[in-house]
Every structure is written in C-alpha cells, then in structure tokens.
Structure 1
Amino acid sequence: MIQHQTVTQHRLASNDPRYAEVVDFMLYEAELLDDLKERQWLTELVSREIVYQVPVRETVERARGFGFSANTFHLNENLGSLESRVARGETLYAWAEDPPSRVRHFVTNIRVREHGDEDLLDARSNILIYRTRQDQTNPQMLSGERRDVLRREDGRLKLLQRVVYLDLTVIGTHNLSLFF
C-alpha cells in the first residue's frame, strides 16, 4: 500500500490543468458507477495495482488517534477481488443486487496535491452515496472522505489507491456491493 505522505505537499490551484484533470476523472468515475457501468470503470479507470480499502471506524478520544483501525477493514481489495465483484454482478447469481440498487455518487470538496513523483497525484474528496433499493421509501446514505492516489499510465490517470474513511461507525446497509 502506498502511504499518504504526512509532509505538507504542494496543493494544486483550481486553474492548474492537473487539478482539472483530476476533477474530470472523479466526475466521469461517478457517472460510470451511477450508470452501473462497473466493468467500464474497472477497465478504464482502475490501475492493475489497485489497493482499495474501507477501514473500520472506531469511536475514540482525540488523544487515541484518527479513529480508524489500521488492521481491520470493511473492504480490503485488490484488482482480483474487484474483478470478482464486478463479474459476480454480471451473473444471474447476484441476488443481493437484483434488481440493482439505484445509486448516486455526490463528490465534492476535491483537493489535489503533488505526491512527490511526477506520475502520481494525491486527491482527497468528500463522498455522499445516496442509495435506494427496490420499493423502499427510506434511502440509505453513506458519507465519508476518499483519499486517492492517481497514477498516470499510458497518458491517462488511473486509480492506484483508494482509502475511504466513512463517517459511520455502524453501516446501516444490508450489503456493501457498491463502489465508493
């Protein structure tokens, strides 16, 4: 896993072409995921070396740290496990998501910083996922912060690492078959 640097990195201004490229990447990613084009998302936007994690949140005092487990995850995935999830969704056996949920990704507060390697960019964004299932009248909402590392591969940005820090300590959804 690529560690997020703790030193202050150069923040990219909104008029920097790299900033605009990251915003475009994130908006296109949200469109693909909202449109249930998960195979296209995986093949076009995800690096083969992906690390994709959702650590478990702990309620702790400030003195005890950030409040997330370093060793326990709701999701701790790589390309193989993401590929399996996408492939399963394409079968007749994904009962938990058939018919599929209706999902909207709201991505906001995008901040981009240089990583130290010219092919890498760090991006932080806030995410709100609004999800409805079947005929339910109460939506499910998941919010948190995404910390991404994007890498330029063959001239295009690809998601190399995503760590999602959810705001919830208890996830009130019946499955986590969605992508953040």
Structure 2
Amino acid sequence: MQNVSRADIEDFLFTEADLLDEWRLPEWLELFTEDAIYYVPSTDVAADSSPDKTLFYVADDRFRLSERVKRLMKRTAHAEFPHSRTRHLVSNVRIRNRSEAELEVGSSFITYRTKDGVTDTYFGSIRYRIVMDNGRLRIKEKRCLLDSEGLRTQGRVSIIL
C-alpha cells in the first residue's frame, strides 16, 4: 500500500461513482472485500458510532449489501424502478492514514438523485478503509456521513450513496 498514490485512490473513487450512476451495481459490489461493511449512520450520531448501539440508516455487511444490490436491480423494487437518475460527485480526496495492510481515505461527496420530478441532494463525507486484494484496490469499509440535519426533504435513502 506504500506505492498507492492519491491519484490512484481518486481514480478508484471516480470509478465507484461512475458504476453507481450507471446502475452497474453488481460490478460496484465487486469493489468490496468479502468481509466488507457499508455504513450510513443517522445524522444525529457521532461519526465513529457503532450500529450495535445507535440508529443507522444502513448497516450492511457484505452479504446484506449483496442482497440490497439484488433487490435494487429487480423491477419489484418500487422505490427504484424505474431507476433514479443519480450523479455522485467526489472531491477533497485525502489519504488519512497509511499502513502496510490498508489505507484510511477520506473524501467529500454530493449525490444528486432525480425521480418523479423531484431532485434530492445528499452531501457529506465518506470514510473508507481500502486494501489491496490480488493486485487491485478494494473497499473493506465505507462509512457515509451525511451533513444534513436529517432526511426531512428526501424522506429516505433508497439509493446507494
């Protein structure tokens, strides 16, 4: 992991955003390790909170994340069929900590979601733990920290941030 540059990480995160915007969710899922976790804590808890003790909008391990992807790809996922149009913007990418085994990466994001004539905006920061697995970067943990005071306008998170 010592030779991975910020530009490498940016390319990786830009690829992730493209896969999400193109609704290529099965390919997006392959960016995650088998023991990965994906968290979206509620907006009123500390960033390092645990889903065991506080409310999270999403607290998925790899299996639950794969089930979420399967559901979202089906026509019976009424909240997302037809699929929302999304645009994931990634910025301020920084390698926060580096070890032999993994990188801790931070970034800012804005995700626009348009469906049924309504555009919602989700914004905040993302904390990643990224590892090298068989010569390619993969996500071991993704924690999306929403900066809004709540989901009052959107009402739900039915897309993947």
Same fold (TM over 0.5): yes
Deviations 1:88-139 (A, max 9, x none): 12222111111110000000000113333x13011100010011003x1x41
Q: 1:30 aligns with which of 14, 17, 21?
A: 17
3-state secondary structure, aligned to 2:88: strand
Is the 1:56–1:169 Cα contact (8 Å) retained in structure 2? no
Shift of 1:155: 0.6
Pair member with larger Rg: 1
Q: Does 1:42 align with 2:25?
A: no
Is the 1:96–1:175 Cα contact (8 Å) retained in structure 2? no
Q: Does 1:165 align with 2:152?
A: no
Is the 2:109–2:126 Cα contact (8 Å) retained in structure 1? yes
Q: Tell me which residue corresponds to 1:5.
A: none
Is the 1:58–1:69 Cα contact (8 Å) retained in structure 2? no
Measure the CA separation in 2 of the matches of 1:139 and 1:79.
29
3-state secondary structure, aligned to 1:57: coil
Q: Does 1:92 align with 2:75?
A: yes
Deviations 1:26-63 (A, max 9, x none): 000001000010111102x111111111112228xxxx
Task: State the AA in 2 paired with 1:37.
Answer: R
Deviations 1:128-175 (A, max 9, x none): 0011003x1x41000011000001000101010011110123113243
Task: State the AA in 2 paired with 1:25.
Answer: F
Structure 1 vs Structure 2 CA RMSD: 2.0
Q: 1:109 aligns with which of 65, 73, 92?
A: 92
Instruction: State, as a whole percentage, how many aligned pairs show the same letter.
Output: 29
Measure the CA separation in 1 of the matches of 2:60 and 2:47.
21
Q: Tell me which residue corresponds to 2:115.
A: 133
Taking structure 1 as reference, are residues 91 and 53 closer, same or farther at Cα in structure 2, changes over 3 Å only? same
Taking structure 1 as reference, are residues 68 and 56 closer, same or farther at Cα in structure 2, changes over 3 Å only? farther
In the alignment, structure 1 segments of 5+ residues that lack a partner are: 1-11, 60-65
Q: Tell me which residue corresponds to 1:20.
A: 7
Paired residue total: 156
Under a length normalisation based on structure 1, what TM-score does the superposition of the two structures give? 0.80
Task: State the AA in 2 paired with 1:51.
Answer: I
Shift of 1:76: 0.5
Q: 1:51 aligns with which of 37, 52, 72?
A: 37
Q: Tell me which residue corresponds to 2:104.
A: 122
Q: Does 1:177 align with 2:154?
A: no
In the alignment, structure 2 segments of 5+ residues that lack a partner are: none
